[in-house]
Amino acid sequence: MKIDDVRRVLIVGAGIMGQRIGLQCATHGYNVVLYDIAPKMLDDAMNHIKAYAAQFIDERRLTQREANATLSRITSTSKPDEAADQADLLIEAVPEDPKLKRRVFAQFSKLCPPHAIFTTNTSTLLPSMFAKATGRPAQFAALHFNKTAWDVLVANVVEIMPHPGTSHETITLLLEFAKRLGQTPFLLKKEKSGYIINSMQSPAIGEALTLVVNGFASVEDVDRAWMGVSKMPIGPFGMLDDVGLDTAWHATDNSAKKYFFIRQLRKNANFLKTYVDKGHLGVKSGQGFYAYPNPAFRRPGFIEGTER
């Protein structure tokens, strides 16, 4: 299959990343179907996507006509066979649960057309873990969008990670697909959990969690220190809220199981689970380490501790 043959993109998982990736694709002319097992999740997702589009109009980054055209290219369904119909490229964006991802790929391998390319947006797991379940290992690779994928008018980083059985044709197509979305693609030479960005960012977030879990500093002070020194507009705990605390918990829990001898990982996972159990998932639920849509770290005076 050639890049010009890709017309319909199936996003499996209507969480925050699924929404943002879907909007990114639709803004660049692709027809998008958003699938989730929960109809309410789809309703919420479509409302969030419309809110993103309205924000872009307000900021004069999209015209009303462009926004309307973008939204007209996005549909949603909780019926798997309907979602898979005529899909040319599948992007899996479900939680970081290996068993769940395998079930998803096995299910859609039977429903999608044989030519369809399958990808996973996982940030911590390796594509070789799911290649067999896709039923089309040569047509499968990891395609990792970073958290600001929804900012459709700003070039972002997409990381492409093949497994040993990924075909050269699939890699070439995904590189071109990323470019057509206004992204800057980076191709990993071999599999690496965390890719490039998260391999650097995750240790910092892990240390931030450790500082708070062990009582050395508060959430706010960790973020203040990070933002003050790095001059970044967000700190580690703001990043966690944006990623989703359920996603962060799954990833930390998986690491804690794999590296069971590192007790701090289990402590950090348990700390995140207390937020997940309360439904405080971050930006997508309106509450995480901060309250949204106006978190404290975005207010004037936050770094100095004088915000209101």
Count CA atoms closer than 13 A to 45's CA, side-chain side.
29
Of 233, 145, 214, 216, the residue nearest 184 (C-alpha):
145
CB 145 within 8 A of CB 21: yes
For residue range 86-138, list pLDDT tens digits in order: 999 999 999 888 999 999 999 999 999 999 999 999 988 999 999 999 999 99
For residue range 168-210, list pLDDT tens digits in order: 999 999 999 999 998 999 999 999 998 998 898 889 999 999 9
Of 90, 40, 16, the residue nearest 246 (C-alpha):
16
- When divided into structural domains, the chain yields a total of 2
Residue ending a domain, among 164, 187, 210, is 187
Question: Does the predicted TM-score (pTM) go above 0.85?
Answer: no
| 133-162 mean pLDDT | 81
| Residue 92, domain member (yes or no) | yes
pLDDT for the residue numbered 308? 66
How big is the CA angle at 132 (ends 90 and 32), to the nearest 5 degrees?
Answer: 5
Same domain? For 150 and 207 the reply is no
Of 82, 91, 209, 69, the residue nearest 141 (C-alpha):
91
Same domain? For 167 and 230 the reply is no
CATH code (residue 241) = 1.10.1040.10
Note down the domain range covering 120: 3-187
SS3 197: helix
Distances (CA, A) of 213 to 23, 121, 268: 36, 29, 7
